[in-house]
Amino acid sequence: MTETPLRNVSLSERLRAHLAIARLDHSIKNLFVLPGVIVPLSVSPALLTPHLFVTLVLACLSVTLIACSNYVINEVLDAPFDRLHPTKRNRPAARGLVNIPAAYVQWLLMMVAGIAIGLTISRMFALAALVLWIMGCVYNFPPIRTKDVPYLDVLTESINNPLRMLLGWYAVTSVLIPPISLLIAYWMLGCYFMGLKRFSELSEIGDRTVAGAYRASFKRYTPESLLVSVVFYASTAMLFLGAFIIRYRIELILGFPLVAFTMAIYLKLAFKHDSAVQNPEKLYREPLLMASFASTALVMGLLLFIRIPRLEIFFTPTLPSTTPAVLQPAPVTYRLRPGQQLRIITQI
């Protein structure tokens, strides 16, 4: 599809195009920040203060600006490839409605504004926001452009999930350290969703030649290889989620059936024609998925604040521990001379 000549684009149409490439409708993905907010609050409720609400509003604005900056550069650099896609060829940049130099300025200004707001929250928050932006560059810019490399495209795009969790976490506290097991589980869960998006896109296009011209990674992907990778992502996500649950919040195990059910619904949607899985911002149109997701989020959120001691008793280890016992210091005998006093200094 040929690019629309610049002289035929009115100013109002141009402004609408520049607003559209920021993809504000994708701000629904900011919901992935919430676990990073809720988990530290469940550990230390004292962190919930009136000032926190102001901080969370600023954090949401910062994350949105960084994400929009990444979307802008994605639209600009993908425009030649989007023209080969049956639906994405209608995007503003692909139609030639975007002024490219102005789009680069828009990309940088949104990043600077997002980082500046992040610095008012904390240095750790601003650092996480900067890494989120850098990953957008790694994903989109040649010669790295990981979106063109099979499997690496899914891994680098989905790392935005744990980064968003960190942004929520550092909006609440810079003292508590987020568990690695939870971050990895969140990352792999994002890979599961992204892998199914790739599967749905490839199945929808059908023609491998056309698909490969649109997205280079599709030259090496097959529907079978994508589904195999999805099984790996799901298994790894549940492994590390289980590690987090057993180590920190055994009560969350009661919400696992809902997690599995939501993942199963998402898998089924990936096989539908013109599936919303290809455009996650449209998933709200799937009532069963939304009901399952809302129920899962609500139950898991509540279980973070509930203690059920009987569960810990039920899951008490029954096999002998293979962990070596902690070495105890050998007993020390003291002989005191007549009149000498013994002083014991305890170091904590």
Domain that holds residue 100: 7-178
158 and 196 fall within a common domain: no
Q: Is the pTM of this model over 0.75?
A: yes
Task: Check: CB of residue 73 under 8 Å from CB of residue 136.
Answer: yes
Residue 274: predicted pLDDT: 85
Q: For residues 288 and 291, what is the distance between their CA atoms, to the nearest angstrom?
A: 5
Tens digits of residue pLDDT in 198-244: 999 999 888 778 888 888 889 999 999 999 999 999 999 999 999 99
34 and 172 fall within a common domain: yes
Q: Is the pLDDT of residue 322 over 80?
A: no
196 and 157 fall within a common domain: no
Tally the domains of the chain.
2
142 and 197 fall within a common domain: no
Q: How far is CA 40 from CA 7, 73, 197, 210, 241, in A?
A: 53, 33, 31, 47, 16
Task: Check: CB of residue 96 under 8 Å from CB of residue 5.
Answer: yes
Domain boundary at 178, 194, 220, which?
178
Tens digits of residue pLDDT in 250-287: 999 999 999 999 999 999 999 998 888 988 778 888 99
Tens digits of residue pLDDT in 29-46: 888 899 999 999 999 999
285 and 192 fall within a common domain: yes
Q: For residues 109 and 233, what is the distance between their CA atoms, to the nearest angstrom?
A: 35
With 0-12 CB in 10 A as exposed, 13-18 as middle and 19+ as buried, what is 2?
exposed
Looking up residue 155, the CATH number of its domain turns out to be 1.10.357.140
Which positions ≥6 away from 342 have C-beta within 8 Å? Answer: 334, 336
Q: Which amino acid is at 300?
A: M
